[in-house]
Amino acid sequence: MIKRLTTRPLVTTAIILSLFSCKSEVGNKETKANQSVELSRETVHDLSHVVVDFLESLNAELKDKASFEFEDEERYNWHFVPKNDRKGVAVEDLDQSQREKLMNILSTALSDEGYRKANDIMQLEVVLQIIEGYEPGNRRRNPELYYLSVFGDPSGSKPWGWRYEGHHLSLNFTSMTGELTAVSPSFMGTNPAIVRETEHKGKEVLKQEQDLGRALVKSFSEDQLAKALIMEKAPGDILTFANREINVKEFEGIPYSVLNPDQQSKLIELLEVYLGNMNQEIATQNRQRIDKAGLENIYFAWAGGLEPGEGHYYRIHGPVFLIEYDNVQNNNNHIHTVWRDLENDFGKDLLKKHYQESDHH
C-alpha cells in the first residue's frame, strides 16, 4: 500500500510571498483502507465556495474574462510556455483582495507543499527577468502573467472546472455533481532548475523530483539499468507535451515487481512527491486508485545521463496515471514535469459516467 505525506494546513494567502521563503513539513502515514475513493462533499464544497467567492469579487468585465461554458473547447487549450494570448483573468488585473481570493483557490486545491512550489515557480519569472535582462512589467518574464479560467457554474450541480496557468504552471481541475474531482493535467516546471546566480543562488524548486529520480536509477544493477533505460539520449521535452490526448501508451522500462524492497521504497517515495502536491483528499483518492490498479503494474523508465548536469528524462507509468520528468533545456538546467490521469484527464471518464447516469442527457 502507498504511504502518504501529511502536511500542515496552509494559512497564508498572499499572492507574492517572500521569494523562496516558504517551507513545509512532511511525514509518512499509512492510508486507511476504508477511506472512500470519492472526495467528501465538504472538500468539493470548499473548492466551489472559494471559486465563487473569487468570481463574486470581480467586476463585470473581469468576470466575463474569467468565465466560460463548461463545454467550451478552451478548457482543453492548456500550455506551459510563455504566451501572449492566454484566456482568463490575469493576476495583473486584480487588486490585492482579489489576489488573495485567487490564492485561496490554489491553497484549497493543493497541499502546502504544492502551493509553495506553485508560488516559487511564479517567482522564478523574477529571476529570469534579472538573468535575461528584461525590465519589470515586461510581457515575457512576468510573475503576474498567470491566468484563472472558470468553466461552468461552480455554484450549481452540473460539471464545472477551472484552470490556473502561465509559464511553467498549468493546473486543471474538474468537478462532477459535487462529489468527484479530477486534477489533471497538472504541470510544474522550473527554469533555472538550480538557480546559479542572483541573490537566490542555490535555490531548487523541484529538487526532490530531480534528486530522488536520480537516486533510484543509480541504485540499479547493470541488468536493471538495461531494462530501465529506454533511450541513450533524453528527449527534448516531455513526450506528452501539451497534447489534449495522451500519446504515451506503451509501458516501457523496469516494473516495480522486479525491484528489491529498497528500490520499491525509493520509487514510492518519488511517486509521493507528485501526489504530495495535491490537496490531501485528492491525493488519497489517487493513492487508492493506484493501489487498486496494482503497484506491481507500475513501470519506471529512464533516458539520458545518470550524473548531475547531464540531460535526463524519466517517467513513472501505471494503469491509471503517467508522470513525466525532463531536464535537457538550458544546458540541462530546466525541468518540466507533468501528472496525467489516464482515466480522468480533464475529467473525461467522470464526465462520461455523469452523462450516462444523468436524467438530463
- Altogether, the residues listed in the chain come to a count of 361
Cβ within 8 Å of residue 352, ≥6 positions away: none
In a domain, 310, yes or no: yes
Cβ within 8 Å of residue 214, ≥6 positions away: 306, 308, 312
Output the pLDDT for position 94. 98
In a domain, 33, yes or no: no
In a domain, 50, yes or no: yes
- Are the CB atoms for 149 and 69 separated by under 8 Å? no
Output the pLDDT for position 36. 31
In a domain, 181, yes or no: yes
Strand partners, 89: 148
In a domain, 27, yes or no: no
In a domain, 44, yes or no: yes
Number of domains, the chain? 1
In a domain, 29, yes or no: no
Residue 95: give the domain boundaries.
3-22+40-357
In a domain, 284, yes or no: yes
Block means of pLDDT (10 residues each) for the chain, 361 residues, are 42 31 31 37 74 97 98 97 96 98 96 97 97 92 97 90 97 78 93 96 98 98 98 98 96 98 98 96 94 98 98 98 98 98 85 57 47
Output the pLDDT for position 6. 37
Residue given cell 488585473 in the structure block: 93
